[in-house]
């Protein structure tokens, strides 16, 4: 029997244990807060314990469940320790959100060692984390959400390591969706493009004319001519992780106001009109 058309949408996330890497800042913090608001138990995992603990206190004060687990994600032993601590505190992991990553500017003029290090920072630790959590994900029929970037589709220039790693993460999304389907585990990716985060604000503030630079970028975003918000990314992640998206897997979802896939002839024309 179909639910009434205006019934509340219960996402069925209460007490589900969620790991959010890099979950203390920017998009990660929005994701952590959004899961907590739905009643999930949120493990904020990453190298920013001060920010993570502050966010966990904020979530707890609002009636949610969250804790910070300080961890160097590229250190296999430290990551294993953190996952064990999450289990001890909250129980088996049901949702893994691979959010942590850094656009580190490792390009063709960088060393091969720097390129390898970029893959460690952006691709290897998501694999390591999912591998560590796999018994839990199987027992909970859980899910994986990978946070990617437009650079893996569009290129950016000067960022071979980050683009390659995030392209690899897209490929792993579909590989894991196929590999884990017999266990009822879903894997999806959410791809931001231009999102206003503290890091982005710092970057735009370093432009010669920050206001003009921001206006130029916004004019190329077809839907609304504005930046995507971190909350819009978070809301998509939470829905896709929920039981309401129970038959969605192997998908790469672009939450970008049309930035990546719309014809550049149109977006450039819009940008020109805005600057006229």
d(CA 170, CA 270) in angstroms, rounded, equals 30
157 burial via Cβ count (<10 Å: 0-12, 13-18, 19+): exposed
Give me the residues paired with residue 255 across strands.
192
* Residue 162 designated active-site: yes
Total count of residues recorded for the chain? 276
Q: In this structure, are residues 132 and 79 in contact, taking their beta carbons and an 8 Å threshold?
A: yes
d(CA 9, CA 222) in angstroms, rounded, equals 29
Q: Of 231, 92, 152, 119, which is closest to residue 239 (Cα–Cα)?
A: 231
Q: Which of 162, 200, 254, 259 is catalytic?
A: 162
Q: Which two tokens stand for residue 267?
A: 């977006």
Active site residues: 162
């Amino acid at each position: 029997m179909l639910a009434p058309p205006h019934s509340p949408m219960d996402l069925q996330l209460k007490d589900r244990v969620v790991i959010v890497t890099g979950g203390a800042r920017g998009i990660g913090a929005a994701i952590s807060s959004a899961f907590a608001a739905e009643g999930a138990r949120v493990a904020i995992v990453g190298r920013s314990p001060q920010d993570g603990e502050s966010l966990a206190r904020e979530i707890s004060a609002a009636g949610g469940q969250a804790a910070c687990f300080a961890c160097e994600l590229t250190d296999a032993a430290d990551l294993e320790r953190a996952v064990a601590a999450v289990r001890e505190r909250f129980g088996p992991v049901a949702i893994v959100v691979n959010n942590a990553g850094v656009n580190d500017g490792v390009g063709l003029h960088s060393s091969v060692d720097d390129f390898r290090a970029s893959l460690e920072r952006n691709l290897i630790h998501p694999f390591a984390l999912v591998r560590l959590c796999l018994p839990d994900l199987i027992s909970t029929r859980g899910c994986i959400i990978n946070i990617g970037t437009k650079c893996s589709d569009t290129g950016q220039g000067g960022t071979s390591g980050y683009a390659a790693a995030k392209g690899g993460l897209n490929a792993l999304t579909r590989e894991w969706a196929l590999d884990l389907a017999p266990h009822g585990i879903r894997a999806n990716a959410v791809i931001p493009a231009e999102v206003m985060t503290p890091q982005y604000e710092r970057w735009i503030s370093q432009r010669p004319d920050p206001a003009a630079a921001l206006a130029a970028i916004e004019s190329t975003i077809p839907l609304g001519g504005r930046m995507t918000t971190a909350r819009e990314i978070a809301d998509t992640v939470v829905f896709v992780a929920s039981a309401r998206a129970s038959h969605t897997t192997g998908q790469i979802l672009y939450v970008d106001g049309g930035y990546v896939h719309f014809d550049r002839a149109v977006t450039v024309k819009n940008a020109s009109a805005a600057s006229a």
